[in-house]
Chain A
Amino acid sequence: MPPWSDFEPFIVSGLALGGVYALSGVGLVVLYRATGVLYLAFGAVGAMGALIAWSLGRENVPGWLTWLVCIAAAAVITLGYGLIFGPALAKRDPLVKAVATIGLTLILYGLMDLLWTSSGGQARSESLPTDNGGFSIGQIQVDWTQVIALAAGVVITVGTGVFLRYTKLGTAMRAMANDREITATLGVPVRKVEAAAWLGCGVLAGVAGLLLADLAALDATTLTFLVISSLAAVLIARLRSITLTFAAAILIGLLHDLLTPITALSNYQNMTPFVLAAAGLLVMSRRRVMTQSREEA
């Protein structure tokens, strides 16, 4: 077992990673609750935005503008998908809706590989100016991007909680999570509320893509499939609670990074989200009630 000081830097990076997972997870949960769609293209959309931002950055477009474009691109793609395929698949099983977003993932992934060739191409990197500044707590160096990542996770979680609790739109979303038909009957403009959820999720995907491109790597494959890690957090929260999603995401990020100094386990650190999610799901599915309803497991 390595000394404690070896672990210290990884607490910070783990928290930052967990923050982004939390932010992604909250986006996924809100969209799932409002529309019944588990948006598996979350990572791909973020990656697309980040790559567009990178290309713009090379054309000497100012940084802040590229970030905005990144977020906007992710939001537009997500909203577009939601407007076209949301209503078409509204009455289908959640599984079908989720698999359909795999279709979008493949389209985006193919496009990204085509336009920003990964094999043989030069390694790309996106670095935010916040990487340079920072401060230190004791021995640990903390840069502002890491602070922003964790803060974004906290702010988005709390903000979404407040939004769902106290605003009209949030209430409508919660109503739709319970029953889409009854909500529509009560005069809630279901399509508009869904569109809002799609847009929100898209914005979060863009933010997550931008942060992960900096924290992890600017690479289509990595970013596209990093969503699986946030998915793990969402699964532990059973696609329901955003507080639990946040806790699970932080736990996954922390555990993942804290395994790095332990040489016996560091090869397996990428298993963290999978193992936690599998264990979480299995433990929580012990008492299964068989129903005919859509809301399963």
Chain B
Amino acid sequence: MGADLGLRSTAGRQTSRRRPGRPQLIRAAVITVLLLFVLFGFPQLLSLYYIDTMTQVAVYSMVTLALGVLVGRVGLVSLGQVAVLAIGAWVAARLLFATAQPYPVILLEAGLITMVAGMVTGLPALRLRGLYLALITLMLAGAITVVLATVNFPNGGHGFLGYNGSLVHIPPIRRPSVAGSDPAYFRYAVIVAILMFLLVLAHTKTKPGRAWAAIRQSEPAALAAGINTTLYKLWALALASFITGVAGGVLAGAVHYLYSIGFPTQDSITLLAVTLMGGVYSMWGAVVAALLYQFLPALLNNWGVSADWLTILFGLGVLQVLTTAPAGLADQVPKDLARLARLLSRLLGRRTPAPGKTT
């Protein structure tokens, strides 16, 4: 399912560069209608339970989007994204308690501070590659989780950490004045998510996107082609940290109260699993992954089915994604693309029977 979605959007991108004609317009129109429906239809149709769930989906679609950029575009596998999300949420919560700044400013600040934190820890880690990089992100995430468990999330206390363990009445983390209610906050979260998706789109369509593609194919070759690999890898890391930080800020307002047990290290592992299942080569994949990660558990919970089945499903999904695409999705996508192109030309173009030409 993920590969299929990934393939469609990449196909669109391929054709759009050549002839920005009708297909692209149709696609844009469909996406616009879909977004309008999500923004205005969902709050009307869904119960409060599912509106809250969809807010979480919006938040986590940003997180999986960022992870998708790292894994899919640049080839950096991170096993520590939940820790980055926790940093973003922590910074946003602290700023929200300490200042009366408007919410968008707080989100921006949370994103930027998380970005700096991500870059400072990531710069030395970027010397490593592949498996070692993935494992060091796991180690760093483990370390951050331990610190968070001790420091705790701000709860309206004073001092730098803003935590007061003896507070009886804990004030909720505030929301933007324009989005106090749950449906309004849902719209707010979706709009922030859309902005983040556009930000990534702006990157992948331009120079950084091409540099990342080259690095993903082969780092030595990219280096030989004159690409500053360190710069662009760091850039990707900065972008991913920024987006995840912003997502953390949105999460802080969505849940009102933050606890360090809400960000365990193992969630980073599950997050990677769903991101892989959703498809890392497409931005739709991020949405699918977020639905898998947040919507499905809510649905199962509503039905009274244990979420453990979902964990098992994610495990099977990872194995399926990794084994049925023997040379990696990076190799599988162009193959499927060619297959799609053949199919399209057969359907749209000359209606030749050509049965002998099939693979």
Q: Among the interface residues A94, A221, A285, which one has the most CB atoms of the partner chain B within 10 A?
A: A285
Q: Which A residues are CB-close (under 8 A) to B142?
A: 228, 270-271, 273-274
Q: Which residue of A lies closest to B124 (CB)?
A: A282
Beta-carbon contacts under 8 Å, A265-283 to B = 267-268, 270-271, 273-275, 277-278, 281-282
Contact with A along B313-334 (1 / 0, CB 8 A): 1111111001100111000000
Contact (Cβ within 8 A) B318 A100: yes
A105 to B314, CA, bound (A): 10
Contact (Cβ within 8 A) A96 B270: no
Q: Among the interface residues A85, A107, A111, A290, which one has the most CB atoms of the partner chain B within 10 A?
A: A107
Q: Which residue of A lies closest to B151 (CB)?
A: A267
Q: Which B residues are CB-close (under 8 A) to A186?
A: none
A59 part of interface (Cβ distance < 8 Å): no
Contact (Cβ within 8 A) A271 B316: no
Contact (Cβ within 8 A) B127 A235: no
Contact (Cβ within 8 A) B136 A278: yes
Q: Among the interface residues A92, A106, A225, A270, which one has the most CB atoms of the partner chain B within 10 A?
A: A106
B140 part of interface (Cβ distance < 8 Å): yes
Q: Among the interface residues A104, A110, A288, which one has the most CB atoms of the partner chain B within 10 A?
A: A110
A42 part of interface (Cβ distance < 8 Å): no
B310 part of interface (Cβ distance < 8 Å): yes
A45 part of interface (Cβ distance < 8 Å): no
A147 part of interface (Cβ distance < 8 Å): no
Contact with A along B113-155 (1 / 0, CB 8 A): 0000000000011011111111110111011001101100000
Interface secondary structure of A, over-half rule: helix
Contact (Cβ within 8 A) A268 B131: no
A88 part of interface (Cβ distance < 8 Å): yes
Q: Which A residues are CB-close (under 8 A) to B266?
A: 109, 221, 224-225
The total of interchain contacts (Cβ-Cβ below 8 angstroms) comes to: 161
B241 part of interface (Cβ distance < 8 Å): no
Contact (Cβ within 8 A) A114 B147: no
B311 part of interface (Cβ distance < 8 Å): yes
Beta-carbon contacts under 8 Å, A33-52 to B = 38
Q: Which B residues are CB-close (under 8 A) to A271?
A: 142-143, 146-147
Q: Among the interface residues A85, A109, A224, A292, which one has the most CB atoms of the partner chain B within 10 A?
A: A109
Q: Which B residues are CB-close (under 8 A) to A61?
A: none
Q: Which A residues are CB-close (under 8 A) to B311?
A: 106-107, 109-110, 113
Q: Which B residues are CB-close (under 8 A) to A108?
A: 315
Q: Which A residues are CB-close (under 8 A) to B138?
A: 228, 231
Q: Which A residues are CB-close (under 8 A) to B135?
A: 38, 231, 235, 277, 281
Contact (Cβ within 8 A) B315 A103: yes
Beta-carbon contacts under 8 Å, B239-280 to A = 265-266, 269-270, 272-273, 276
Of the candidate stretches B162-170, B183-191, B217-225, the one touching chain A is B217-225
A216 part of interface (Cβ distance < 8 Å): no
Beta-carbon contacts under 8 Å, A234-284 to B = 235, 267-268, 270-271, 273-275, 277-278, 281-282
Chain A interface size range: 35 or more
A98 part of interface (Cβ distance < 8 Å): yes
Contact (Cβ within 8 A) A114 B308: yes
Contact with A along B268-303 (1 / 0, CB 8 A): 011011001000000000000000000000000000
B312 part of interface (Cβ distance < 8 Å): yes
Q: Which A residues are CB-close (under 8 A) to B139?
A: 228, 232, 235, 273-275, 277-278, 281
B309 part of interface (Cβ distance < 8 Å): yes
Beta-carbon contacts under 8 Å, A93-132 to B = 93-96, 98-100, 102-111, 113-114
CB distance from A295 to the nearest CB of B (A): 10
CB distance from A252 to the nearest CB of B (A): 12
A224 to B327, CA, bound (A): 29
A4 to B191, CA, bound (A): 59
Contact (Cβ within 8 A) B132 A106: no
A168 to B10, CA, bound (A): 51
Contact (Cβ within 8 A) A107 B315: yes
* B positions within 8 Å CB-CB of A: 77, 124-125, 127-136, 138-140, 142-143, 146-147, 149-150, 218-220, 223, 265-266, 269-270, 272-273, 276, 306, 308-319, 322-323, 326-328
Known: A38-B135, A109-B266, A282-B125. 17 other contacts (CB 8 A): A85-B319, A85-B323, A88-B326, A92-B322, A92-B326, A99-B276, A99-B318, A106-B269, A114-B309, A228-B142, A267-B149, A271-B147, A281-B132, A290-B219, A296-B130, A296-B131, A297-B132
In the complex, 10 of the A-B residue pairs with CB atoms within 8 angstroms, ordered by the A residue number, are: A92-B327, A95-B130, A99-B272, A105-B315, A107-B312, A114-B309, A114-B312, A271-B146, A271-B147, A297-B130
Q: Give 4 nearest A-B pairs by CB, closest first.
A: A106-B315, A110-B311, A103-B318, A107-B315
